[in-house]
Structure 1
Amino acid sequence: LDSPKAEAQRAEVMQLLANLIRRQSSGSARHTLLSDLYRDVSDWHLMRRLNIDVDFDQARLNPKRNPGFVSGRYYIKAKPSMQSVSLVGQIGAQQTLAFNNASTVHDYLQQAKPADSADNDYVYVIEPDGKVSKQGIAYWNNTHYKPMPGSVIYLPLQTDLFSDDIEQLNDHIASLLQHRM
């Protein structure tokens, strides 16, 4: 809880979004979607995720193999098994869809209504363990990827042909989603 890393990431994302919003004409659909995304990101409850691998057998036999915690304040939450997949990003409002073992990322996107400003080639999948992966969704790069229950699918902004700003913003938002509670 004491680490400022997640809040620093949020501040960077908010600055990039604010710059992008200023370049849009007021009242346009893209301006509205970006403003909604800005508001959503500012409302997220963030904590820095710690990925600590513990081999329980080794830790039990040798105390030095138990990584333990350094001093600080921690929040440990054992979540119940999720039976849904969330979609955030360029879809207007966040949506939560029922998890289906046979559904791929593409199947979940068929149930949602992506905005015109959403990237048509890739999405980011943030698994419950914090792993982030970029998955192809276009006809030419479609990956047959089945997300885990509790995953978040981030529909990124469509990238500009002559600028890397939006791609950088998409990467930062996907990284920030790892720390969202």
Structure 2
Amino acid sequence: MSKAMIAAAALLLCCGVSHAEVNVDINGQRYSYTDNPRLAEVLKPHALQQNWYWSAAALYRTDTQRAEKLRQQLLALATELAQQSDDAQLRDSLALLQAQVNQWQLADRVNMRVDYDAATVVPALNPRFDTGSYRLVLQRRPNTVFVGGAVRREVSVPHLGASDVAAYTASIKMTPGADSEQLAIVQPDGRVIKAGISYFNRSNTEAMPGAQLLVLFTEPMLDQRFSTLNTLLQQLAVHRILP
């Protein structure tokens, strides 16, 4: 090995090679950072380009598999419940749920408030990114909500301002085994809320623009697996990247 090659190798060992530690896809545009940036730095190139609806902005990890593992747990449990059921209609309902969930685009959502204005003035809302790969989704205010879960077909319906979620029931075609007394609301900021929709438990809870309304399955007292199925469905929907 020549003296020049030895010197170059020593320099690399001493100083290291610069490489990107954080990669972020923002609405299809890719950015790389050699240091761990803060949220405001990552948002800055896009923050003022549109009137973003920050309540629906979401950050996802794309180099981890937590959401996919949740999906496989849900699918396996639905298969188990269907195989052990004597109710053909319930088996069909579970099959429809599986087909629906299989179509979802998923990534591991980061539990972080994404808001450029807040990040620039409140240090606690301007955290550093951990090393890894991310997808950042920014959008204008949606005008629909998504209805899924124990339904004949997943649909998007117009958002109803100043209306509780019971107002959406006319658009929902529930499948056998569905819980007709409550919905789970997955708000676009990642919060999950239960809301009553029947006459005696109506809760006057609103869905934000871009929310997901999940029809859950009835939970028999003697079979807690349906409660687990409902929990997995709600957890998984948090990690969904909506079309």
Same fold (TM over 0.5): yes
Which residue of structure 2 aligns with residue 97 of structure 1?
Answer: 157
Which residue of structure 2 aligns with residue 40 of structure 1?
Answer: 100
Alignment partners' CA distance in 2, 1:121 and 1:166: 16
Residue deviations 1:45-101, cap 9 Å, x none?
Answer: 111111224642144xxxx97312111110111122210111101111101111111
Alignment match of 2:81 (pick from 8, 20, 31): 20
Matched, 1:86 2:86: no
**SS in structure 2 at match of 1:170:** helix
State the percentage of identical aligned residues.
Answer: 25
Which residue of structure 2 aligns with residue 125 of structure 1?
Answer: 185
CA contact (8 A) 2:153 2:173 kept: no
Alignment partners' CA distance in 2, 1:3 and 1:79: 24
After TM superposition, the score normalised by the length of structure 1 is 0.89
**SS in structure 2 at match of 1:96:** strand
Alignment partners' CA distance in 2, 1:100 and 1:120: 20
**What is the deviation of 1:5?**
1.1
Alignment partners' CA distance in 1, 2:126 and 2:196: 38
In the superposition, relative to structure 1, how do residues 49 and 164 fare at CA in structure 2: closer, same or farther (>3 Å)? same
Which residue of structure 2 aligns with residue 162 of structure 1?
Answer: 222
Which residue of structure 1 aligns with residue 19 of structure 2?
Answer: none
Residue deviations 1:146-175, cap 9 Å, x none?
Answer: 110111000011111312110111011011
Which residue of structure 2 aligns with residue 116 of structure 1?
Answer: 176
After TM superposition, the score normalised by the length of structure 2 is 0.68
Which residue of structure 1 aligns with residue 69 of structure 2?
Answer: 8
Which residue of structure 2 aligns with residue 139 of structure 1?
Answer: 199
In the superposition, relative to structure 1, how do residues 144 and 117 fare at CA in structure 2: closer, same or farther (>3 Å)? same
Alignment partners' CA distance in 2, 1:110 and 1:11: 31
Q: Which has the larger radius of gyration?
A: 2
- State how many pairs are aligned: 176
Alignment partners' CA distance in 1, 2:149 and 2:205: 19
**What is the deviation of 1:123?**
1.2
Alignment partners' CA distance in 2, 1:150 and 1:65: 23
Q: What is the RMSD of the two structures over their aligned residues, measured on CA atoms? A: 1.8
Please state which structure has a larger fraction of its residues in strand: 2
